[in-house]
């Protein structure tokens, strides 16, 4: 692995971020500085934290940044729930985004578990 871009959790989070961005372009103008801003920030935070954690080259720090990314995934889900409740989002599009989010979540949890095992087993940091 040469860069954070090779991490499956990053690739899935990036795909989610791109799809969220496309959805945000459909939001009404009155949500420009409310829901739109919030969901864009939270979805970008996922990939940014995965990248920053990877760059720290220390398992424990990487784990902490990945946990923050996981929190941003949860925040993004809540914003999608709001969009669904406000009828800015169809159930079909919500379902598609939710699957992307859940896939990213599962793989990110797996990466966190891997990092924990590396730290516990004394695997040298990157």
HSE-CB for 124 with a 13 A CA cutoff: 1
Please state the three-class secondary structure of 64-110 as a single string.
Answer: HHHHHHHHHHHHHHHHHHHHHHCCCCCHHHHHHHHHHHHHHHHHHHH
The pLDDT tens digits of the residues spanning 64-123 come to 999 999 999 999 999 999 999 999 999 999 999 999 999 999 999 999 999 999 989 888
pLDDT one-digit tens code per residue, 48-65:
999 999 999 899 999 999
Domain ranges of the chain: 4-120
Confidence (pTM):
0.94
Place of tokens 């009404």: 28
More confident residue, 126 or 9: 9
Fold that domain 4-120 belongs to in CATH: de novo design (two linked rop proteins) (1.20.1440)
């Amino acid at each position: 692995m040469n860069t954070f871009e090779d991490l499956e959790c990053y690739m899935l989070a990036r795909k989610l971020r791109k799809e969220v961005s496309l959805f945000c372009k459909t939001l009404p103008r009155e949500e420009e500085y409310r829901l739109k801003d919030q969901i864009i920030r939270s979805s970008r935070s996922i990939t940014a934290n995965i990248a920053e954690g990877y760059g720290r080259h220390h398992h424990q720090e990487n784990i902490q940044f990945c946990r923050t990314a996981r929190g941003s995934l949860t925040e993004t889900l809540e914003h999608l729930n709001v969009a669904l409740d406000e009828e800015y989002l169809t159930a079909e599009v919500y379902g598609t985004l939710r699957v992307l989010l859940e896939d990213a979540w599962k793989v990110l949890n797996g990466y966190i578990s891997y990092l924990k095992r590396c730290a516990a087993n004394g695997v040298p940091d990157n």
